[in-house]
Chains A and B, each alone.
Chain A
């Protein structure tokens, strides 16, 4: 019985993924911009970094971070940040799209738990982000140039629990979208805030004390920090194994809290009947 249920859920996730693939390729210009857009974000920061260089090197930056290769620092931050965005937008925005198109209520009437639907909505987003990140990293390497070390496998292993934990945050965001009926702002602000405070573009040590305290309380900070520590041998906030442990703990706690919130909000929305409102 359990096996049958699992099979049913997997079929549902597969069906949602196929639907997302079809929608994605229905708008081919979208696919192109998934690659062009990150480069457009990185370019001004590249020129910003150049305008602070002394003798072609970011000497000042090295004193903070331990590396003068700001582009490598930035590209690692951008790749991790793109996964955060993929999960948040994949879960939250698809809900809003379905709300607008008027299919959310009928989807909720299917005998598939909301949690499974949410996971389904994020799968394609994560896959396309992975492909996208590799292409973008290659193009950025070609255009701007950067160097990373040999620890790619340990970096991926370190990142894995963080990605799972992000699903917890994704559930929380989806809950907010259901309550506020406004996806763009909720996701955009959360995404930008989380990535910025966690140090996607700079070492968090430079933040003012109050913001630094918030940053250090976010497990995402240790995700950015540890991967850079492994690949670029930058100065890390804590010993690497401690940061990795924090990420594993975050995986359990984050998903449990996210799931709990989503369940509560689902019940609330069903009670007040606002699912189809927009």
Chain B
């Protein structure tokens, strides 16, 4: 009996030449297959870009009044009267972060509920590979989503680019490490608390309240402004608005881009450390499959 077990162990060790890249590709493929299995996800990808800003855009319209009297205060605070573009940029960033949080939170949690997380954990690959696999799928989704959003904004909200689209793309790319760093930390927390929904509500709630998704940060009390300066999404939204609506150039947003990159390095490192620590802990306590 022992000999058989030993031979299996030895042979599996000999055969196991795990390629991290192949593992990432397979996780990416699995996520893509699951996504394509539910066509309603694609429908939601088409609907949300128009639907989500809808409430905020019309709230702003109602608040500005029939003769747009309220717009003067808004314009003085933001430097623009175009509240539609202002809301659209903020809400698109929010949707990106929201999707990322749900993706990271629910992918591990879902496997925990379905009972496949433990078997995935037994694969002879670094466990961070799982996160990178999810991340690449999320990135693909995010870029397709933003492309669709842009077309729909132009069609339904008469949205126009004032600044340089490539600079806007650069800001989005610079935001990726910090946003996915948050995702890695988030995935680790989910494995501890075993409750994805509430954690998504908390993190996205903080972003909704502090990052100026729909309002100018100038209106916030000082302590809230202080909190918002520690969230990378604040800088992404601010610089995107400056580029897209006010035509800012690279020199105007250089500081924000540098801050985003710095956040990216810190959060990505913290994310990987948190995930490694969590996987060690759940192995020790044997709580990986609990839910």
- Whether A44 touches B209, Cβ cut-off 8 Å, given contacts A101-B113, A180-B38, A182-B41, is yes
Whether the pair B219, A60 counts as a contact (CB closer than 8 A) is no
- Choose the segment among B57-65, B163-171, B177-185, B237-245 that binds chain A (4+ C-beta atoms closer than 8 Å): B57-65
Q: How many residues of B contact A (CB 8 A)?
A: 52
Q: How far is the CB of A219 from chain B (nearest CB, A)?
A: 20
Whether the pair B62, A51 counts as a contact (CB closer than 8 A) is no
A54 lies within 8 A of chain B by Cβ? yes
B122 lies within 8 A of chain A by Cβ? no
Most buried by A among B47, B66, B73, B213: B73
Whether the pair B209, A53 counts as a contact (CB closer than 8 A) is no
B123 lies within 8 A of chain A by Cβ? no
Give A84 to B60 CA distance when docked, in angstroms: 23
Residue of B60, B65, B193, B208 touching A59 (CB-CB under 8 A): B65
Q: Which residues between 11 and 69 of chain A lie within 8 Å of chain B, taking CB atoms?
A: 27, 29-30, 32-33, 36-37, 40-41, 43-45, 47-54, 58-65
B74 lies within 8 A of chain A by Cβ? yes
- Choose the segment among A113-121, A183-191, A248-256, A259-267 that binds chain B (4+ C-beta atoms closer than 8 Å): A183-191
Count: A-B pairs, CB below 8 Å? 145
Interface of B toward A, CB cutoff 8 Å = 38, 40-41, 43-44, 47-48, 51-52, 54-56, 58-74, 77-78, 110, 113-114, 193-195, 197-199, 201-202, 205-206, 208-209, 213-216, 219-220
Interface of A toward B, CB cutoff 8 Å = 27, 29-30, 32-33, 36-37, 40-41, 43-45, 47-54, 58-65, 70, 100-101, 180-182, 185-186, 188-189, 192-193, 196, 200-203, 206-207
Write 26 A-B pairs (CB below 8 A) sorted by A numbering: A27-B194, A29-B199, A33-B202, A37-B201, A40-B205, A45-B214, A50-B215, A50-B219, A52-B60, A52-B63, A52-B64, A53-B73, A58-B70, A60-B62, A60-B67, A61-B70, A63-B67, A182-B38, A185-B41, A185-B44, A189-B48, A200-B55, A201-B58, A202-B61, A202-B62, A206-B61
